[in-house]
Amino acid sequence: MNRRDFLKLLALLAVSTYLGSSTSTKKDQIVIVGAGIVGSALGYELAKAGANVTLIDKAQPGSQASGNSFSWINATYPKQPYAYNFFSQLGIDAYKSLALELNFQIKWSGSLEWFANKQIETDSFKQLANIMRYKQYTPVEVISASDANQLEPKVIFKKNTKVIFSKSDGAIDALDAIHKLTNQIKQYGGKIIYPCEYLSSNYKNGKLLSVKTNQGEIEADKVIFTSGIDTNALTGQSFLKEATPGIILKSKPTKDAMNRMLIGPGIHVHQQNNGVVVIGEQTGAPPTHKERLKQKPNKFPEIIGKQHGERLLQQTNLLFQEKLNLDLDQISIGWRPLPKDGLPIIGWLPNRPNSYIATMHSGVSLAAIVAKVASQEILDGVSSTLLKEFRPSRFF
């Protein structure tokens, strides 16, 4: 879908119901709590539309889940039911549109996925067959090991291996994107404040007046929670189940190591346009690490981090015919915000006037489309048909 067709489709589908709050000539004073890629993209769209945006975070923008993620943009087979898959498809198109505005570093190479565990393979192919019955889905096919080797000559695909080739997938440099988005927010007159922790919302006669933070009060007509794993604590609701950690390794830039995203047994890896190789571990942390991870750190102690890095490099090299000579640059822990039912949570909070939420896994994959559609709802008092399956009201 080209950019013009995407924008036409968005205009046709996005708005279903006018909610009765007319747009005022006074600029909306909007506080966004959470400067990951969802909050930054939403802040950009709101500021561009003329709102006074203040984006706050307890740490540096992008330092939480978004900056420590595999950064995979996709609408692949786990994205079910159809409403979720279709929304994810629009997410790909929204990124292509936004990338033209801000020159995002996105590598649209597609992904290759294969399995060692036969039960996981069987279950995955059942899910794939299900989405291929949808009226619309992103280009995908199952290819042989020899065909996969034509696409990735350096990778080991065992004989008789079946490989899922998802042709539309992309990988974004999330930190670069957040940097560009927050810079544009400031260009439009918005503010980025960190470290700044949200404490409470101040109301009078049911009307939101301000947001209280540890840096003082901020005037606000509306408050938006794009707070990732902190969502439950900040909203006082039980939207998310326990966050899970994912180890992410980044190398120093190197010459061409691979062409596409590789989603292999136990490990996934891709190479950014700048030459950085990003490696993610598919298995969770062992039980022995439970106490160490209780406070949800984003970094390892130096010695332990080095050990994990070497282990991941060894696992990655098992995918290749020749060892990749990668220099470890960074290893971190990304904590995934996981909605209880697996679907995004987007919309006005039923129990808090003028309070909106946008939390999901993966925010990196959906940020562009969420920002485009949610900004219309927030500013124009409309309700989008695209978001009707994802409302927070389903938890009340």
Q: SS3 for 39?
A: helix
- What percent of the chain lies above the pLDDT cut of 90? 84
Band the pLDDT of 19: cuts 50, 70, 90. low
Within the chain, what is the greatest distance between any pair of CA atoms?
Answer: 69
| Residue 125 pLDDT greater than 50, yes or no | yes
Scanning the structure block, which residue is given the tokens 């292999």?
264
d(CA 298, CA 269): 20
Q: SS3 for 76?
A: coil
> And the tokens for 6?
């995407």
Question: For the purposes of burial, counting CB atoms within 10 Å of the CB of 229, is it exposed (0-12), middle (13-18) or buried (19 or more)?
Answer: buried
| Residue 57 pLDDT greater than 70, yes or no | yes
pLDDT digit string, tens, across residues 244-278: 998 999 999 999 999 999 999 999 999 999 999 99
Average pLDDT, the chain: 92
Q: What is the dihedral sign for C-alpha 135, 138, 143, 145?
A: negative
Q: What are the structural domains, with CATH classification, of the chain?
A: 3-71+174-239+341-395 (3.50.50.60), 108-168+243-337 (3.30.9.10)
* 197, 329 Cβ separation under 8 angstroms: no
| Residue 11 pLDDT greater than 60, yes or no | no
> And the tokens for 145?
């090991």
Strand extents, DSSP E, 135-197: 140-143, 163-166, 170-172, 191-193
The per-residue pLDDT for 370 is 98
* 248, 278 Cβ separation under 8 angstroms: yes
Band the pLDDT of 22: cuts 50, 70, 90. very low
Residue among 205, 193, 240 at smallest CA distance from 31: 193
- What percent of the chain lies above the pLDDT cut of 70? 90
> And the tokens for 337?
């915000």
Q: Which residues contact 147 (CB under 8 A, 6 or more apart)?
A: 163
| Residue 91 pLDDT greater than 80, yes or no | yes
d(CA 171, CA 70): 8
Across 248-265, b (16+ Cβ under 10 Å) vs e yields: bbbbeeeeebbbbbbbbb
Lowest pLDDT segment from 5-14, 47-56, 186-195, 361-370: 5-14
pLDDT digit string, tens, across residues 149-200: 999 999 999 999 999 999 999 999 999 999 999 999 999 999 999 999 999 9
| Residue 24 pLDDT greater than 50, yes or no | no
The per-residue pLDDT for 267 is 95
pLDDT digit string, tens, across residues 373-383: 999 999 999 99
| Residue 112 pLDDT greater than 90, yes or no | yes
- The secondary structure of 125-139 as a DSSP string is HHHHHHHTTSSS---
- Is the pLDDT higher at 11 or at 230? 230
